[in-house]
Copies of this chain bind each other. A is one copy, B any other.
């Protein structure tokens, strides 16, 4: 399978080099060993492995989902084979320090690498990406010994990781988790409880599974302030690090899903008593950091995971877009509006205005979303390596604000892109002979996991926008206005679009003040999702203006690049003409402090 229907290598080069100028990062000590060439080489490697090892079993893993025979969970063999090759690439440690076996790649470059795997096979890619989130969390909060014991085998691909947050009665509301962790005399804990929606919670793909589990130490405060974080391995290790007895983590059942079927998703019991490690009840757990810091620690991971969800949604949207372009170019059907002669040959459907509309919409969504995801990666690089503390802190603040948008916007609009990709394929797109229906099903998870759309909306409007006295939002608006100013000076088309973006930014400022100025949190948040969606559209319009400026900076070359750059211009126009205006009625609604949802009684449905 070719990588050319997964992502566009040319677009990645444009975004990373022509726009984000990641090459300049090699001036910084952390990336000094790198160059544009090493970046490109690792991108090529990712594209190749994704196409040859991941895309090749994407449909098979969907058609034959993992099954539990009472003894073990079985997955089709291609999954393990692909993950072994992935481990050999070393990409799991792409951004990690050399000291733990990492490549010290910039996050922007790593995100682009990972997107290839998500586009090729989001379900198989979930195993290493969950492991990566787990490992990064331990690198940030674990002890040196914990890092040595657990992170090293994860980096080597021998152990896989999970995140165990939700319980059957506590999903969005983590305050309500009840899993208990009883302290033992030897400093370890024994956990008892049930965890729901655990991706990668059981499988036969690795020697061991390292669960990171949120639980309560008895006597702690109620709610989220009394949650602690534990390492709970499936198999305990002996003093030398070799696999020892089975821990008391037991699979209760597999969840059978609409999509993402290749990723096992499980209900797990901890400390049910099936296994009694060292002769005692409870699942053995090791506290990470201090007690009652679990939620803050987990959020460290969760912010990365949320951008990762947005990246996955983007990748699925992107590959669906490329596949529908390929289909539209080769499928003959109908004739131009002006040509009524039925004996004239049919034209490829890409010639029809409505098909072009559907392709332009997809292009504007998926390339806009990819720009945002890579921009967030670039901010993470700034946060970690900018020479000046002020720059690091600004990057941190901006990334914090953008995170719910980077999670939600691609989840909503790249799903919409997949819907359009099906539509371009017509009846064929509705069959399992084409990939797009699976992309649509897979992508439907993204508005749900790692915090639903509604939770992201509350995070943005209820927390991020008000934090530090509104400094985060202020910074976002100021950053967008800087682009507007640059575009204004550039004149021509960019200047025209800049005027519209500037007006939208002003509306964000006014509407936000009005919502929070009313002094009624319930009213302020009543339409948080509408706010999230409107601000998201403005942010993507900003991404398109940024891209347009990068295109204009490149001038007007001939050849294939002329088509590529003209396509960028046209997608930017499309977004400003068809998409940005959607925010007008949304801002109107928000500005009116609409109470419709608050005034609705439950008995009216």
Contacts of A299 in B (CB 8 A): none
Separation of A346 and B223 alpha carbons in the complex (Å): 12
Does any Cβ of B come within 8 Å of A582's Cβ?
yes
Q: Which A residues between 569 and 594 are near B, CB-CB below 8 angstroms?
A: 570, 573-574, 577-578, 581-582, 584-585, 588-589, 594
Partner of A357, one of B353, B527, B573, B581: B527
- State whether B427 touches A171 (Cβ < 8 A): yes
Does any Cβ of B come within 8 Å of A45's Cβ?
no
Contacts of A602 in B (CB 8 A): 329, 348, 350-351
- Interface bits A440-469 vs B (CB < 8 Å: 1, else 0): 110011011100111001100010000000
- State whether A332 touches B169 (Cβ < 8 A): yes
Partner of A258, one of B332, B346, B430: B430
- State whether B333 touches A454 (Cβ < 8 A): no
- Which of A134-142, A283-291, A335-343, A480-488 lines the interface with chain B? A335-343
- State whether A452 touches B426 (Cβ < 8 A): yes
- State whether A357 touches B597 (Cβ < 8 A): yes
Closest to A173 in B: B334
Asked whether A604 and B350 contact (CB < 8 A) given A169-B332, A334-B172, A597-B357, the answer is no
How many whole Å from A284's CB to the nearest CB in chain B? 28
How many whole Å from A510's CB to the nearest CB in chain B? 18
- State whether A589 touches B596 (Cβ < 8 A): no
Closest to A585 in B: B581
Size bin of chain A's contact surface: 35 or more
Does any Cβ of B come within 8 Å of A489's Cβ?
no
Separation of A363 and B601 alpha carbons in the complex (Å): 14
Does any Cβ of B come within 8 Å of A507's Cβ?
no
Tell me which of A343, A350, A447, A603 has the highest count of chain B C-beta atoms within 10 A of its own C-beta.
A603
Separation of A584 and B175 alpha carbons in the complex (Å): 42
Asked whether A353 and B525 contact (CB < 8 A) given A423-B447, A584-B585, the answer is yes
Closest to A524 in B: B337
Closest to A586 in B: B581
Please classify the interface of chain A as helix (H, G, I), strand (E, B), loop, or mixed, using the class held by over half of its residues.
Answer: helix
Closest to A359 in B: B605
Separation of A280 and B571 alpha carbons in the complex (Å): 58
Contacts of A173 in B (CB 8 A): 333-335, 346
Does any Cβ of B come within 8 Å of A257's Cβ?
yes
Contacts of A448 in B (CB 8 A): 422-423, 426-427, 429-430
Contacts of A566 in B (CB 8 A): 601, 604
- State whether B605 touches A567 (Cβ < 8 A): yes
Contacts of A336 in B (CB 8 A): 522
- Which of A50-58, A109-117, A431-439 lines the interface with chain B? A431-439
Closest to A357 in B: B597
Does any Cβ of B come within 8 Å of A28's Cβ?
no
Contacts of A429 in B (CB 8 A): 448
Asked whether A444 and B431 contact (CB < 8 A) given A352-B454, A354-B457, A604-B570, the answer is no
- State whether A605 touches B350 (Cβ < 8 A): yes
- State whether A354 touches B528 (Cβ < 8 A): yes
Q: Which A residues between 394 and 434 are near B, CB-CB below 8 angstroms?
A: 419, 422-423, 426-427, 429-433
Contacts of A567 in B (CB 8 A): 604-605
How many whole Å from A370's CB to the nearest CB in chain B? 15
Does any Cβ of B come within 8 Å of A385's Cβ?
no
Partner of A422, one of B172, B430, B444: B444
Does any Cβ of B come within 8 Å of A302's Cβ?
no
Closest to A563 in B: B603
Tell me which of A175, A329, A598, A604 has the highest count of chain B C-beta atoms within 10 A of its own C-beta.
A604
Contacts of A313 in B (CB 8 A): none
Contacts of A338 in B (CB 8 A): 521-522
Does any Cβ of B come within 8 Å of A126's Cβ?
no
- State whether B427 touches A197 (Cβ < 8 A): yes
Tell me which of A256, A332, A356, A582 has the highest count of chain B C-beta atoms within 10 A of its own C-beta.
A356
Q: Which A residues between 234 and 283 are near B, CB-CB below 8 angstroms?
A: 255-259
Separation of A351 and B338 alpha carbons in the complex (Å): 55
- State whether A256 touches B601 (Cβ < 8 A): no
Partner of A333, one of B171, B257, B350, B603: B171
- Interface bits A542-573 vs B (CB < 8 Å: 1, else 0): 00000000000000000000011011001001
- State whether B337 touches A525 (Cβ < 8 A): yes
Does any Cβ of B come within 8 Å of A505's Cβ?
no
Asked whether A577 and B605 contact (CB < 8 A) given A169-B332, A342-B224, the answer is no
Asked whether A257 and B334 contact (CB < 8 A) given A343-B223, A354-B454, A589-B577, the answer is no
Besides the known contacts A172-B333, A353-B528, A578-B596, 4 further A-B residue pairs in the complex with CB atoms under 8 A apart: A171-B333, A197-B427, A357-B597, A573-B596
20 contacts between A and B (CB under 8 A): A169-B332, A169-B346, A172-B333, A256-B431, A337-B522, A350-B602, A350-B605, A352-B454, A353-B527, A353-B528, A356-B598, A357-B597, A423-B454, A427-B448, A563-B604, A564-B604, A567-B604, A570-B600, A570-B604, A582-B582
List the 4 closest pairs (A to B, CB-CB), nearest first: A223-B342, A581-B585, A567-B604, A354-B454
